[in-house]
């Protein structure tokens, strides 16, 4: 049987944090071993919000190096830039013709971004359509993402179903692969909101490239709950539960066992160890990152190889799609 196909992407919007790692990239690394995987850098999605062009270039290379430093291997996965495969945009246009505008304007992420002051441009509104195209063009079976993307995944499934109903069986309906724990890492300064690179305060997140001192400092001042017990109870103890998830995921240890270990210990002791667990996990990734980012040409070469692999698959899908839609071939 052919291997199942997995597709996902991360936007190069700067300061990749441990939420992105635990919610998405950590899964990518596991999945590449078993499946046919396409992991890309969603640079076209990044420009839906204003970006400084020079910074965007650097952030794109930064994500490429981080993907590799976290353990993605070009021999096992197809690693590329979304903008290198214009077929994504062509399919997005075709999908946009079967998408009611009302459906897009009701999407949570769109509404949140506009409410927070982001320009309500057409790109931002059409964000889920391009994302559906990113996924469907490779005939993905599954898409590993954090929980915040589940509505977009539902949109992609609907788009596939609608296209198939109208033009004949073409796309699979991809399922979302959302981790049981780690799919929604909360902000360190506010455990009622997800950890986010665009948070008002840098104390909200721990960047993948953060220094040891900064990690220690940010964990030390992370918000805790009002009582003293180290217990996993997301509803009543959201702050400590979030820190327990981070500990468990970073150390590869069950939450129960971490809870037991800190049963009669203080928040201060727990936090001190948590910082060290994070540092232990991130430090080899950071070392590898430093090595990779020095060799820009090697990174570009890997992205070019990925582009060629991805393009072959994307072109094949588009030949079929154009024909089904009635666009005359050459």
* Active-site residue set: 113, 194, 197
Q: Give me the residues paired with residue 41 across strands.
A: 10, 81
Lookup: tokens for 77: 């996965």
Least distance CB 6 / ligand AMP (angstroms): 12
Asked if residue 174 binds ligand AMP (CB under 6 A), the reply is no
Task: Indicate the residue whose CB is closest to ligand AMP.
Answer: 23
3-state secondary structure of 159: helix
94 vs 132 by CB, closer to ligand AMP: 132
| Candidate segments 182-190, 250-258, 283-291, 317-325, binder of ligand AMP by CB under 6 A | 182-190
CB 11 within 8 A of CB 113: no
Least Å distance between CB 178 and ligand TRP?
11
Strand pairing of 142-144 and 77-81? unpaired
Return the number of the residue (192 or 198) whose C-beta is nearest ligand TRP: 198
Among positions 188-247, residues that touch ligand AMP (CB under 6 A) are: 194-195
Q: Measured from the CB atom, is 204 or 286 closer to ligand AMP?
A: 204
3-class state of residue 8 by DSSP: strand
Q: Is 31 in the site for ligand TRP (CB under 6 A)?
A: no
CA 63 to chain centre: 11
| Gap between the Cα atoms of 196 and 118, Å rounded | 15
- Distance CA(149)–CA(243), nearest Å, equals 22
5, 7, 20, 31: which one binds ligand AMP (CB under 6 A): 20
Count of residues interacting with ligand TRP (CB under 6 A): 13
Residues in 39-78 at the binding interface with ligand TRP, rule: CB under 6 A = 42, 45
Q: How far is the CB of 10 from ligand TRP (least distance, A)?
A: 6
14 touches ligand AMP by CB under 6 A: no
Q: With contacts defined by CB under 6 A, name the span among 6-14, 96-104, 112-120, 237-245 that binds ligand TRP.
A: 6-14
How far is the first Cα of the chain from the last one, in angstroms, to the nearest whole number? 34
CA distance 180 to 190: 21
Sole binder of ligand TRP in the list 29, 63, 79, 131 (CB under 6 A): 131
Part in contact with ligand TRP (CB under 6 A); list of ranges 114-122, 145-153, 203-211, 212-220: 145-153
By CB under 6 A, tell whether 134 contacts ligand TRP.
yes
Q: Checking DSSP bridges between strand 77-81 and strand 5-10, what pairing results, if any?
A: unpaired
- Label residue 71 left, alpha or beta by phi (over 0 means left) and psi (-120 to 50 means alpha): left
> Is 135 one of the binding residues for ligand TRP (CB under 6 A)?
yes
Taking residues 128 to 167 in sequence order and writing x for each that binds ligand AMP by CB under 6 A, - otherwise, the string is -----------------xx-xx------------------
CA dist., res. 132 & res. 174, Å (int): 10
CB atoms under 10 Å from CB of 61, counted, come to 17
Tell me the C-alpha distance between 249 and 264, whole Å. Answer: 22
Look at the alpha carbons of 199, 81, 56, 210 in this order and tell me if their dihedral is positive or negative.
positive
Residues at the contact surface with ligand AMP, assessed by CB under 6 A: 10-11, 19-20, 22-24, 145-146, 148-149, 183-185, 194-195
Residues at the contact surface with ligand TRP, assessed by CB under 6 A: 7-9, 11, 42, 45, 131, 134-135, 143, 145, 149, 152
């Amino acid at each position: 049987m052919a291997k199942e196909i997995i597709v996902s992407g991360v936007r190069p919007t700067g300061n990749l944090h441990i939420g992105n790692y635990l919610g998405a990239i950590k899964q990518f690394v596991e999945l590449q071993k078993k499946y046919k995987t396409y992991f890309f850098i969603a640079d076209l999605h990044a420009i839906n919000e204003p970006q400084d062009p020079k910074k965007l270039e650097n952030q794109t290379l930064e994500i490429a190096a981080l993907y590799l430093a976290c353990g993605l291997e070009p021999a096992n996965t197809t690693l590329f830039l979304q903008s290198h495969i214009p077929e994504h945009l062509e399919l997005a246009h075709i999908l946009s013709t079967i998408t009611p505008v009302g459906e897009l304007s009701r999407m949570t992420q769109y509404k949140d971004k506009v409410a927070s002051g982001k320009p309500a441009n057409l790109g931002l509104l059409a964000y889920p359509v391009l994302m559906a195209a990113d996924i469907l063009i490779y005939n993905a079976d599954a898409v590993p993402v954090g929980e915040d993307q589940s509505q977009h995944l539902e949109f992609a499934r609907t788009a596939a179903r609608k296209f198939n109903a109208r033009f004949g069986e073409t796309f699979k309906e991809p399922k979302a692969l959302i981790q049981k724990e780690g799919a929604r890492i909360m902000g360190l300064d506010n455990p009622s909101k997800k950890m986010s690179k665009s948070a008002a305060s840098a104390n909200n997140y721990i960047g993948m490239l953060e220094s040891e001192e900064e990690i220690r400092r940010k964990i030390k001042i992370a918000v805790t709950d009002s009582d003293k017990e180290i217990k996993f109870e997301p509803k009543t103890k959201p702050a400590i539960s979030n820190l327990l998830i981070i500990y468990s995921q970073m150390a590869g240890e069950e939450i129960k066992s971490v809870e037991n270990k800190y049963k009669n210990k203080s928040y201060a002791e727990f936090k001190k160890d948590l910082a060290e667990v994070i540092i232990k996990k991130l430090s080899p990734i950071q070392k590898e990152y430093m090595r990779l980012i020095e060799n820009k040409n090697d990174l570009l070469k890997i992205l070019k190889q990925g582009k060629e692999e991805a393009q072959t698959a994307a072109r094949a899908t588009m030949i079929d799609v154009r024909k089904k839609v009635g666009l005359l071939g050459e």
